[in-house]
Amino acid sequence: MVIVMKNNATPEQIEAVEQKIRSLNLNVHRVDGALRTILGAIGDASSVDTQEFENMEGVFNVVRIVEPYKLCSRTFHPENSIIKFNGIELGGDRIVVMAGPCSIESKEQIYTIAEQVARAGATILRGGAFKPRTSPYAYQGMGIEGLKIMRQAADAFDMQIVSEILEPSQIDPMYEYVDIYQVGARNMQNFALLKALSTIDKPVLLKRGMAATIEEFLMAAEYIMSGGNYQVILCERGIRTFEKYTRNTLDISAIPIVKKLSHLPIIADPSHGTGKREFVAPMARAAIASGADGLIIEVHHQPEKAMSDGPQSLLPDQFQRLMEELKVIAWAIGRTV
Taking the C-alpha atoms of 178, 180, 184 and 188 in order, what is their torsion angle to the nearest 10 degrees? 130
Residue 184 contacts which entry, Mn ion, ligand PEP, none (Cβ below 5-8 A, type-dependent): ligand PEP
- Please state the closest distance from residue 101 (CB atom) to ligand PEP, in A: 9
| 237 forms part of the interface with ligand PEP (CB under 6 A) | yes
- Please state the closest distance from residue 273 (CB atom) to ligand PEP, in A: 8
In degrees rounded to 5, what are phi and psi of residue 208?
A: -70, 135
Q: Distance between CA 262 and CA 234 in Å, rounded?
A: 10
- Please state the closest distance from residue 329 (CB atom) to ligand PEP, in A: 23
Please tell me whether residue 108 adopts helix, strand or coil conformation: helix
- Name the burial class of residue 97, with classes exposed (0-12), middle (13-18) and buried (19+) by CB atoms within 10 angstroms of its CB: buried
- Name the burial class of residue 302, with classes exposed (0-12), middle (13-18) and buried (19+) by CB atoms within 10 angstroms of its CB: middle
- Please state the closest distance from residue 32 (CB atom) to ligand PEP, in A: 34
| 102 forms part of the interface with Mn ion (CB under 5 A) | yes
Contact between 208 and 267 (Cβ < 8 Å): no
| 98 forms part of the interface with Mn ion (CB under 5 A) | no
Q: Residue with the closest Cβ to ligand PEP?
A: 184
- Please state the closest distance from residue 94 (CB atom) to ligand PEP, in A: 22
- Please state the closest distance from residue 191 (CB atom) to ligand PEP, in A: 17
**Looking at the DSSP assignment, which residues form a beta bridge with residue 97?**
295
Give residue 89's identity as a one-letter amino acid code: E
Considering only the stretches 206-214, 230-238, 301-309, 320-328, report the one whose residues sit in contact with Mn ion under the rule CB under 5 A. Answer: 301-309
Residue 151 contacts which entry, ligand PEP, Mn ion, none (Cβ below 5-8 A, type-dependent): none
Site for ligand PEP in 250-289 (CB under 6 A): 269, 272
| Contact partners, residue 176, CB within 8 Å, separation at least 6 | 151
The secondary structure element, H or E, covering residue 62 is strand 59-63
| 102 forms part of the interface with ligand PEP (CB under 6 A) | yes
Nearer to Mn ion, 75 or 271 (CB): 271
| 247 forms part of the interface with ligand PEP (CB under 6 A) | no
Please report, as ranges, the residues that interact with ligand PEP according to CB under 6 A: 102, 128, 132, 184-186, 207, 237, 269, 272
